[in-house]
Amino acid sequence: MKEAWWKWAHYLGQSDLISLEKAFEFASRAHDGQKRVTGEPYMTHPVAVCSILMEEQADLPTIMSALLHDVVEDTDVTIDEVEKQFGQEVSRIVDGLTKVERGLMSKEEHHATNIQKLLSAAADDVRVAVVKIADRIHNMRTLDVKPVEKQIPYANEALIFFAPLAGKLGLRKMRAELEEISFPFLNPVRCSEVVGAVESYSTQFDGLFQQVREKVGGTATFEGMREPLYQSYSLLQDDVEVSDLYSIRITTDSVLDCYSVMGSVHQVFKPVADAFVDHLALTVSPFNQKLQTKVWIGNNMVRIILQTREGKALSDQGVLALLREEKSSMSIQRLSHECLGGAIHDATEIAEDVFEFEAVVSHSLFQETITIYTPDWNA
């Protein structure tokens, strides 16, 4: 089973691998004999969650917590045992991911209570939210094994709660996958229509992409990009042109190179008036550091985005890229507060109960810009 994720461990040191092995063995013993709805051994789930995070080179406490995220909730293991074996940092993340006992609560109150616990814990350590998002991604990948009556609400929550949460944390690919899986369950007809509309422009865009790469040239890296499926649907509902769902990202070594290449782009192709945006000099988000312009290629308008390689990493991996740089508990807490703390604190102050908290935080936390993902245009 370990072979499924061990290939992603190349970025870890030897001592990290020993710690990860210990977490795997501990979780395997705790979940021994348990099965998923699919009939597979239960450990396939935490291993898959761990793999999702290792693909993004998440830090060691995050991936250890992914392996251990269900041991307290679903086995006889206590949170004190987790802390004794793996330390306070990992146990705090696992505790944040562990649902409260339902007791006499209704199903709705239990759900809202767990949302409040999850987000409150994530405001102090954002890795709680990161692991939960990866957990939901794997459960969405196997959603078709759930009863039909459970698929719709589960997909709906992924679309309106977990996907925006991933977007808030700059987890671009994770958000895109949650949307790509959820949308067909919720509205297969509209999903099919959007797929047809988007794919109808794909060949034309590929030709435009090749023109830009050939005429601008240099040592920069060129990528074709398009909005995720559900975001495309939302934009098309607002009468956005299909062509505006696509863009070309050019990645350079430095900020100075970004401006230099932008100048080259505008020399080769006529820029569209009032379409230049500078989020390098005026940063609005650590996950959105870029120059953006639109140019005319024949009768086609094409969006061009320029980023440094560091900016690309932040755009692609979001908070996970920042977590690799933050080593102390204080710096991680500060990062967590910057990402989520303000909105969650405000919701806690305003809300009179868990239902109101869920409503307030859903409105305030998820008002953020659309993210994009990168298909392989060079395949």
Same domain assignment for residues 303 and 223: yes
Find the catalytic residue in 74, 157, 206, 326: 74
**Token representation of residue 67:** 């392996």
Cα–Cα distance between 23 and 218 in angstroms, integer? 46
Same domain assignment for residues 122 and 245: no
Same domain assignment for residues 200 and 307: yes
Cα–Cα distance between 197 and 71 in angstroms, integer? 45
Any idea which residue has 């998440």 for tokens?
Answer: 58
Choose one of 84, 111, 145: the last residue of a domain.
145
Same domain assignment for residues 45 and 134: yes
Cα–Cα distance between 265 and 256 in angstroms, integer? 14
64 lies in which domain range? 3-145
| CB within 8 Å of 185: residues ≥ 6 apart | 143, 151, 152, 155
The answer to whether residues 278 and 336 touch, using CB atoms and an 8 Å cutoff, is no
73 classed as catalytic: yes
Chain centre to alpha carbon of residue 140 = 14
Q: Nearest-CA neighbor of 31 among 66, 75, 68?
A: 75
Return the pLDDT at 5.
67
81 classed as catalytic: no
**What are the Cα distances from residue 229, in Å, to 61, 288, 296?**
32, 20, 25
pLDDT digit string (tens) for the chain, length 379 residues? 566 667 788 889 999 999 999 999 999 999 999 999 888 999 999 999 999 999 999 999 999 999 999 999 999 999 999 999 999 999 999 999 999 998 899 999 999 999 999 999 999 999 999 999 999 999 999 998 888 888 999 999 999 899 999 988 999 999 999 999 999 999 999 999 999 999 999 999 999 999 999 999 888 999 999 988 888 998 998 889 999 999 999 999 999 999 999 999 999 999 999 999 999 999 888 899 999 999 999 999 999 999 999 999 999 899 999 998 766 777 898 999 888 888 888 888 888 899 999 888 887 776 643 333 333 444 3
Find the catalytic residue in 25, 32, 73, 253: 73
In a domain, 40, yes or no: yes
Same domain assignment for residues 8 and 140: yes
The CATH number that applies at residue 21 is 1.10.3210.10
Cα–Cα distance between 141 and 177 in angstroms, integer? 9
Return the pLDDT at 324.
84
Cα–Cα distance between 69 and 98 in angstroms, integer? 7
Return the pLDDT at 375.
39
In a domain, 312, yes or no: yes
Length of the chain: 379
Provide the CB-side half-sphere exposure for 95 (13 A, CA): 17
Choose one of 290, 316, 342: the last residue of a domain.
316
**Backbone angles phi and psi of 56, in degrees to 5:** -95, 10
Which segments of the chain does DSSP mark as H helices, in order? 3-6, 14-30, 44-55, 60-68, 71-74, 79-97, 107-124, 127-141, 148-157, 163-168, 172-186, 188-216, 229-237, 255-268, 309-317, 319-323, 329-336, 342-350, 354-365
Give the Cβ contact number of residue 74 at 10 Å: 15
Same domain assignment for residues 205 and 87: no
Same domain assignment for residues 233 and 124: no
Choose one of 316, 333, 358: the last residue of a domain.
316
In a domain, 73, yes or no: yes
Return the pLDDT at 112.
92
Return the pLDDT at 367.
61
Name the residue type at position 257. D
The CATH number that applies at residue 283 is 3.30.460.10
**Number of compact structural domains in the chain:** 2
Beta strand 300-308 with 246-252: parallel, antiparallel or unpaired?
A: parallel
